[in-house]
Every structure is written in structure tokens, then in C-alpha cells.
Amino acid sequence: MISSLAITLPVIPEQAASVPVTATSDIQMDIRDVRKVYGGDADNSVVALDGVTLRIRRGEFISLLGPSGCGKSTLLNILAGFQPVSSGQILQNGRTITKPDPSRTVVFQDYALFGWMTVQQNVEFGLKAKGMPRKQRAELARSLINMVRLNGFEEKYPHQISGGMKQRAAIARALAPDPDILLMDEPFGALDAQTRVLMQEEIARISSAAGKTVVFVTHGIDEAVFLADRVVVMSPRPGRVRQEVHVPLPRPRTAEMRSDPWFVSTVNDLWETLKPEWQKGE
């Protein structure tokens, strides 16, 4: 039971009041006043992010939650190094992010597996690109396949396995280069409701076991709270950090925590806050 914690750690309206004291050396990602504008011409330009500031601790699991179009994917793409900021800065271990790097890998909603490669080959892909010898990469890939519980499916092609299995393979592939940070963009968005719940429990287990920092983009309030150490709620476009919720649930997260009173009331409170914006759409 965590109900005693529920009294001391409610949904926090102001970010500054809630942030635990963190040594600078524990900060892995430092997002400083980031603004992103798409389109150069002032009439057609879209301000996707404005003044986003966020510090992410090493090993922390962050859920980025917000209405459609608030800039969640934009922020994730910038963290990955796929897109530049328009202004502001993002530091990883004190260094500015300027391009993609194997220390940050991405899991997308649509799996992005190579259809002509088996599960084993997909997982090995990044290791081969890094020049790891064949035997070593085969062993490492097998242990990751084991971790995501796909043993027995190593020689299957993506079209021969289910959506949940494809996403497990994509997670194993993203973990293969041993990244510091795993970036996940609505990874379970294409799955049916039951598989989604099972995958949430899997990623909770895998991320704890692998000890990675995770940034997880989602529309799902219960998913965000179930998985995260901290839920970062974004405002409608232009995206800003409007609220942070520190989640006191212990790890490993287990299915029964979904009926904990703190969990239920936090999900309800967030829903009440976000409903008007989500009803409006973009």
C-alpha cells in the first residue's frame, strides 16, 4: 500500500515546489528554454514548442503527456537529434545535442523494423553497424530477445509475428547499442487495449532491469502515471511544461497498483484537467 504517500505527494500544480533536490551530476538531460518553430515564413509558421525547460535525472522514467499537437513528438525528435531547436539548448551530460547518437535510441509507434530481416537480424542491426564481431553480437541479441520474452521467435520475420511481439523486437533493437536514454514515441499506440496493458507492464520491468533513462510520449493518462517516475504534462500548442506529477508508486510497478487510491485519484485529476483541452482538439 502507498496510501500514506498519497497524502504527502499529491498532484503538484507548480513544478518548482515538487522537484526533489538533485545534484548537477545526476542530470542527464538538461532542456533549457527550448523553442521550435516550423516554417520560416511568419504567416505560415507554427510555433510547436515555446520555453520548454526540463531537467531529467539519470535513470528517471519521464512520461510526456499532452493533447494532440502540443509538440510531444517534436520534443522527442529534438532530444533524439533528428531536428534542431529554433532557440534554447539541450544538453546531455553537459554537452549540447546536435545530431543523433547511439547513446539515445528511439522506439516508434509503427515499430520501424526492417521487414526483410528476421527478429534476430533486426536486433543485431545496430551492433553490426558498430562493428561488433558476429559471435558477440549474436549472443547479445539473444540475451535481449530473451529479456523481451521473444525466445523461439528469433528466425521469424516481422510479418509473421503479432503487433505486441513486433514492439518487443523494436524495444530489443533499441536497447542493443546499450543507450543511456531510450526515447519512446507512443510505442503502444497501435496495439489493442489488452496487449497495450501487458506491454506497459513489460516496459516497466524492462526499463527497471536495463536501468535506462526513458522519455515516453503518450496520450494515455493511466499509461503515463503507471510507468513514470514523473509525468510531465504539456499545454496545448505552443507546447510548454504546464504541470509535473511525481509518482510515489514503488518499483517494480505491478498490475494491482492501478487500483491504488493514489493512482485512481491522480488519473482522475489529470483527466479533469486535460479534458477541456482534449475536447477542443488542436
Ligand X SMILES: Nc1ncnc2c1ncn2[C@@H]1O[C@H](COP(=O)(O)OP(=O)(O)OP(=O)(O)O)[C@@H](O)[C@H]1O
Please say which residue, 34 or 175, places its beta carbon nearer to ligand X: 34
Please say which residue, 48 or 144, places its beta carbon nearer to ligand X: 48
**Is 71 an interacting residue with respect to ligand X (CB under 6 A)?**
yes
**Is 59 an interacting residue with respect to ligand X (CB under 6 A)?**
no
The helix/strand count (H/E) of the chain reads as 9, 10
Please say which residue, 75 or 144, places its beta carbon nearer to ligand X: 75
Among 22, 38, 264, 265, binds ligand X (CB under 6 A): 38
What's the Cα-to-Cα distance from 29 to each of 58, 83, 233, rounded to whole Å?
8, 16, 17
Rounded to the nearest angstrom, the gap between the alpha carbon of residue 220 and the centroid of all alpha carbons in its chain is 12
**Is 126 an interacting residue with respect to ligand X (CB under 6 A)?**
no
**Is 84 an interacting residue with respect to ligand X (CB under 6 A)?**
no
**Is 46 an interacting residue with respect to ligand X (CB under 6 A)?**
yes
Cell of 269: 485529476
- Check: CB of residue 226 under 8 Å from CB of residue 204: yes
- Check: CB of residue 235 under 8 Å from CB of residue 49: no
Distance CA 116, CA 108 (A): 18
**Is 167 an interacting residue with respect to ligand X (CB under 6 A)?**
no
Please say which residue, 104 or 137, places its beta carbon nearer to ligand X: 104
Alpha helices in 69-133 (DSSP H): 72-80, 119-129
Residue range at the interface with ligand X (CB under 6 A); choices 66-74, 143-151, 245-253, 256-264: 66-74
Distance CA 240, CA 226 (A): 22
Residue range at the interface with ligand X (CB under 6 A); choices 8-16, 63-71, 151-159, 175-183: 63-71
DSSP-derived secondary structure for 182-250: EEEESTTTTS-HHHHHHHHHHHHHHHHHHT-EEEEEES-HHHHHHH-SEEEEEPSSSB-EEEEEE----
Eight-state DSSP code of residue 47: E
Please say which residue, 2 or 47, places its beta carbon nearer to ligand X: 47
**Is 48 an interacting residue with respect to ligand X (CB under 6 A)?**
yes
Instruction: Report how many residues bind ligand X under the rule CB under 6 A.
Output: 14
**Is 74 an interacting residue with respect to ligand X (CB under 6 A)?**
yes
Distance CA 268, CA 263 (A): 9
**Is 45 an interacting residue with respect to ligand X (CB under 6 A)?**
no
Site string for ligand X, 194-233 (x = CB under 6 A): -------------------------x--------------
Please say which residue, 27 or 37, places its beta carbon nearer to ligand X: 37
CB of 129 to ligand X, least distance (A): 27
Cell of 203: 516496459
- Residues within the interface to ligand X (CB under 6 A): 38-39, 46, 48, 66, 68-74, 219, 237
